[in-house]
Amino acid sequence: MRWAHTVAVGYGPYEIDAPISTGGMGAVYRARHGESGEEVALKQLLEGGSERRFEAEARLLAALEHPRVVRVLDHFESDGDRFLVMELVDGPDLEEILYERGRPGLPVEEAVEYVRQACEALAYVHAQHVVHRDVKPENLILGPDGVVLVDFGVAREYETNVEGTAVIGTPGFMAPEVLGGIISPRCDVYGVAATLWTLITGDPPRYGDSTELRVPPRVRAALDAGLAFDPNRRTASVEAFAAAIGARLAPDAGASLARSVETPGMPRTLIEAVVRAAAGVFQAAASSLALLDRSTGELVYRAAWGAGARETVGMRLAPGVGVAGAVAASGQGEAVADCRADQRFASAVAAGTGYVPATMLVVPLRRGGHTVGVLSVLDRLDGRGYGPDDVERAAAFADLALMVADVQLGAP
């Protein structure tokens, strides 16, 4: 459900009932919608940054769907402040459980089970190219069906190096490399390992902590590897960390952000892999692949990933319509730094998905000198626009993707 942005003075259409938590990234409140009366968790973000980045990130987070991940229901701006509207998960967080029952920590088996469930949530979000960046007991709520990962106000698309990135996280749970702006899923491995340490001992670890723990040797070895100062020496994934502590993750119950329709001669798993990889490589909130219908000359969107994927798949564009149509006609890739200022942007697509992207990159898919479709990526999650250098990289990616598809399909 999404509510209209009838923003009034203060906190928009929401009435605040009580504070839930506060931190360096903002404050979270228990609130209710003034018209529907539905209770939500409303996060007021304090971090600076561009409107583009906020919009792109919020839309991507709203597409996540997993029983162990809080749902982001909506987002809006009011009087210069930015807000995320999240599902309200009733239950104590693990910090509260530790405070109430820790002696000083929790039993190892119980702590491992909580962390196992947290790893299920993180494995899903990492597969969607998102890093949480603030994994800690306070952000893990024990709901009716187990642990739920909450507070995605600091989530970011992961990159190998992000110069000038604000240092965001909680001391004791923040991976050391975050101070240098290096963000990857291994940051969350550190956070979940620090969470397990805290649940067992009652206090977060310090870098290089050699405190003796009364835990099985394999758990201690897993903690040491998960808390390694050098990310290259740290456990590479939350799945590997869970295995190291002897925890078996349940089969992935999350909804894939990729959508597709049956395409003659191209398996759905293959076409969905292309758009998923494109989003990751180009740090995008959404990506799509459209193929030319030879009988009509229309572009038919066969697969999409991320924000608006469900609405995009199946759309048809008349020949030459929109940026994608222009690229299909010319055979030349284009980077649009500001879609909202580009008159070619297809209003039909905007009407279908409910928004106009801030920036996009579109390149042709070419076989034997002929254009057979287009690949598009939309909304860089760092808020910057795509440029000419990105066109060259995207064209190489598209050629490689089509080559792999041809090999898989046995095309000559």
197 or 75: which leads in pLDDT: 197
Mark whether 263 and 321 lie in a shared domain: yes
pLDDT confidence of residue 97: 97
- Which CATH number covers residue 337? 3.30.450.40
Least confidently predicted of 45-59, 63-77, 132-146, 148-162: 148-162
The active-site residue out of 134, 188, 379, 390 is: 134
Same domain, 99 and 238: yes
Q: What whole-number percentage of the chain has pLDDT above 90?
A: 50
Residue 3 lies in a domain: no
Check residue 46 and give its pLDDT: 67
Share of the chain above pLDDT 70, in %: 86
Q: If you average pLDDT over residues 47-55, what whole number do you get?
A: 69
Query: Final residue of a domain: which of 40, 64, 87?
Result: 87
Catalytic annotation on 134? yes
Average per-residue pLDDT in the chain? 85
CB 187 within 8 A of CB 195: no
Q: Is residue 307 part of a domain?
A: yes
Q: Could you tell me if 43 and 84 are in contact, meaning their C-beta atoms sit under 8 angstroms apart?
A: yes
Closest among 190, 187, 235 to 209, alpha carbons compared: 190
Q: Tell me how far apart the alpha carbons of residues 39 and 46 are, in angstroms, rounded to a whole number.
A: 22
Asked whether residue 249 is domain-assigned, the answer is no
Average pLDDT over residues 298-324: 90
* pLDDT of 172 strictly over 60: yes
Q: Indicate whether 240 and 333 sit together in one domain.
A: no
Can you give the pLDDT at residue 107? 96
Pair 269, 139 in one domain: no
Domain contains 9: no
Query: SS3 for the chain, per residue?
Result: CCCCCCCCCCCCCEEEEEEEEEECCEEEEEEEECCCCCEEEEEEECCCCCHHHHHHHHHHHHHCCECCECCEEEEEEECCEEEEEEECCCCCEHHHHHHHHCCCCCCHHHHHHHHHHHHHHHHHHHHCCEECCCCCHHHEEEECCEEEECCCCCCEECECCCCCCCCCCCCCCCCHHHHHCCECHHHHHHHHHHHHHHHHHCCCCCCCCCCCCCCCHHHHHHHHHHCCCCHHHCCCCHHHHHHHCCCCCCCCCCCCCEEECCECCECHHHHHHHHHHHHHHCCEEEEEEEEECCCCCCEEEEEEEECCHHHHCCCEECCCCHHHHHHHHHCCCEEECCHHHCCCCCHHHHHHHCCCCCCEEEEEEEECCEEEEEEEEEEECCCCCCCHHHHHHHHHHHHHHHHHHHHHHCCC
Which of 177-181, 248-252, 354-358, 401-405 is the least confident region?
354-358
Confidence (pLDDT) at 26? 67
Mean pLDDT lowest for which of 23-27, 272-276, 289-293?
A: 23-27
Q: pLDDT at position 6, please?
A: 36
Domain boundary among 87, 104, 119: 87
Q: Residue 20: what pLDDT?
A: 82
The total domain count for the chain is: 3
- Predicted confidence at residue 160, as pLDDT, reads 43
Confidence of residue 114 (pLDDT cuts 50, 70, 90): very high
Residue 116, pLDDT > 90, answer yes
pLDDT of 165 reads 44
**What confidence tens digit (pLDDT) does each residue in 252-261 have?**
888 889 999 8
Does a structural domain hold residue 319?
Answer: yes
Q: Which of 1-5, 278-282, 382-386 has the lowest mean pLDDT?
A: 1-5
CA separation for the pair 234, 179 (Å, rounded): 16
pLDDT of residue 47: 61
* Model confidence pLDDT, tens digit, residues 12-48: 788 888 888 776 556 788 898 878 888 999 888 766 5
- Both 128 and 235 in one domain: the answer is yes
Are the beta carbons of 285 and 383 closer than 8 angstroms? Answer: no
CB 41 within 8 A of CB 28: yes
Looking at residue 310, what is its pLDDT?
Answer: 87
Q: Are residues 48 and 116 in the same domain?
A: no
Of 320 and 8, the structure prediction assigns the larger pLDDT to 320
Label residue 407 by pLDDT band (50, 70, 90).
low
Question: Are 104 and 219 members of one domain?
Answer: yes
Instruction: Look at residue 223 and tell me if it is in a domain.
Output: yes
- CB–CB of 131/187 below 8 Å? yes
The angle at the Cα of 21, spanning 15 to 23, to the nearest 5 degrees, equals 120
CATH code: domain of residue 110: 1.10.510.10
Domain that holds residue 311: 258-409
Which residue bears the tokens 């009733």?
A: 90
pLDDT at 210: 78
Whether 161 is in a domain gets the answer: yes
Q: What is the pLDDT of residue 303?
A: 94
CATH number, domain of 56, equals 3.30.200.20
On whether both 100 and 80 belong to a single domain, the answer is no
411 or 383: which leads in pLDDT: 383
pLDDT digits over 321-380, tens only?
A: 889 999 999 999 999 988 888 877 766 666 666 677 889 999 999 988 899 999 999 998
- Domain identity same for 238 and 291: no
Spatial distance between the Cα atoms of 269 and 258, rounded to a whole number of angstroms:
9
Residues 149 and 69 sit within 8 Å (Cβ to Cβ): yes
Residue 5 maps to a domain: no
Domain shared by 212 and 131, yes or no: yes
User: Do both 297 and 316 map to the same domain?
Assistant: yes
Same domain, 380 and 405: yes
Higher-confidence residue of 133 and 221: namely 221
Which domain-ending residue is among 87, 108, 134? 87
The pLDDT score that the predictor gives to residue 170 is: 77
